[in-house]
Amino acid sequence: MIERAGKLREERFIIKVVEMHYKQGLSQQEIGKKLNVSRTTISRALAQAKKHGYVQIKINYPEDSAINLEGRLEERFGLKEAVIASSLNENDLKEEIAFFASDYLLRTLKNHMTIALTRGVTLQNMVEFLGKDVRLKFLKTDDVNVVPLMAATNISVSMDKGYRMAYSNYLIEAVAKIINGNSYQMLAPQYVTSPEAKKVFMEEKSIKEVFDLAKSADIAVAGIGTLDHNSALTNAEFIPMEEFERLQKKGGTGEILSHVVDKDGKLVKDEFEEHLLSLDLEEFKKIPIRVGVAYGLDKKEAILGVLRGGYVNVLITDEKVANYLIEETK
């Protein structure tokens, strides 16, 4: 009987605290003063209320909320996080995606970590935003390495300077400089003339060391490309057109780290792989945080394939693509 009375008194106290906090809007400190108890006692009472089910928190998102959509994407594809940009204007969308990518990198950044990056125009935009972020004034990092996930792309000198910058070692150097880290260059072509040449390059000590660093990265940020005539593979004059068309015929829909995958996320088996100097996709999947950054409906199938293959566990994209991904996998 005494035990029962004690339990009732405890329940009454917890419910009183719940009423004051959630209905009256009082802070824990204010409740403590009113009830003549410590803030710790109030905090413990609120924790007990949640544990025993006296309080159940439900968030009613608007049907079209980006946050709601992010949660659905995370659940559908087993993602650590989905970040969705919602701008309607194409230029604003490009900037919003770049900001979200730089923001994710900054809030994940820690001392003694290795960041691995692909290259591309979207990541170049990310770097531009990174360099302008006011949080850099308060950022102090120690022993951060920035490494490439692939060798350098062969770029024609006649191409646009900005495009050349996007597909060069510049991005690695730029990020390292911005965060006061150490940059590691991959001084080799991304696409070589023969399997024998690839073997020689991959056994070269300086190149092997960089790939070993990439394998041990804490976070990777990768662009996702299409496999059409506007793709990075063709615009960067990366591979001969006949090889590109052969990869299409074999079902290639997208690329990540320049590895071509089909709509189900399976690596397209082709001799192209024997010429490519890029981190192996199975090794890539061992990196704890793998951020895929891509947007635009022209990339929707490529993004879906990459998600189905489990190559990324964080996705930064736009609202239209996110809706497509949800609808396509119902």
For 200-215, the pLDDT digits (tens) are: 999 999 999 999 999 9
Q: State the pLDDT confidence band at 318, using cuts at 50, 70 and 90.
A: very high
Rounded Cα distance, 66 and 264, in Å: 26
7 vs 89: which has the higher pLDDT: 89
- Average pLDDT, integer, range 93-101: 93
Beta strands in the chain (DSSP E): 81-85, 114-117, 145-148, 182-183, 219-226, 254-256, 259-261, 289-293, 314-318
What average pLDDT is seen over the chain? 87
What does the pLDDT read at residue 316? 97
Residues 305 and 263: beta-carbon distance below 8 Å: yes
Rounded Cα distance, 35 and 141, in Å: 45
- Average pLDDT, integer, range 290-318: 97
Residues 161 and 145: beta-carbon distance below 8 Å: no
Count the neighbouring beta carbons within 10 Å of the beta carbon of residue 56: 7
- Average pLDDT, integer, range 279-293: 97
Please give the C-alpha separations between residue 53 and each of 5, 14, 18, 98, in angstroms, as whole numbers.
Answer: 20, 11, 12, 42
Over residues 115-174, the pLDDT tens digits come to 999 988 889 999 999 998 888 888 888 999 999 999 987 554 445 555 556 667 888 999
Please give the C-alpha separations between residue 39 and each of 16, 34, 204, 269, in angstroms, as whole numbers.
Answer: 15, 11, 62, 62
CATH topology of domain 2-51: Arc Repressor Mutant, subunit A (1.10.10)
What six digits make up the tokens of 70? 């992010």
3-state secondary structure at position 147: strand
Percentage of the residues of the chain whose pLDDT score is greater than 70: 86
Please give the C-alpha separations between residue 267 and each of 118, 207, 233, 262, 287, in angstroms, as whole numbers.
Answer: 18, 24, 16, 7, 18
What six digits make up the tokens of 304? 């879906």
What does the pLDDT read at residue 263? 95
What six digits make up the tokens of 272? 């192209």
Please give the C-alpha separations between residue 132 and each of 17, 248, 306, in angstroms, as whole numbers.
Answer: 45, 39, 30
Residues 269 and 255: beta-carbon distance below 8 Å: no
For residue 117, which of 185, 170, 188, 171 has the smallest C-alpha distance? Answer: 171
CATH hierarchy code of domain 66-328: 3.40.50.1360
Rounded Cα distance, 219 and 210, in Å: 15
- Average pLDDT, integer, range 314-325: 96
Q: Where are the domains of the chain?
A: 2-51, 66-328
312 vs 328: which has the higher pLDDT: 312
- Average pLDDT, integer, range 65-88: 88
What does the pLDDT read at residue 157? 41
Count the neighbouring beta carbons within 10 Å of the beta carbon of residue 38: 12
Rounded Cα distance, 213 and 279, in Å: 11
pTM of the model: 0.79
What does the pLDDT read at residue 52? 81
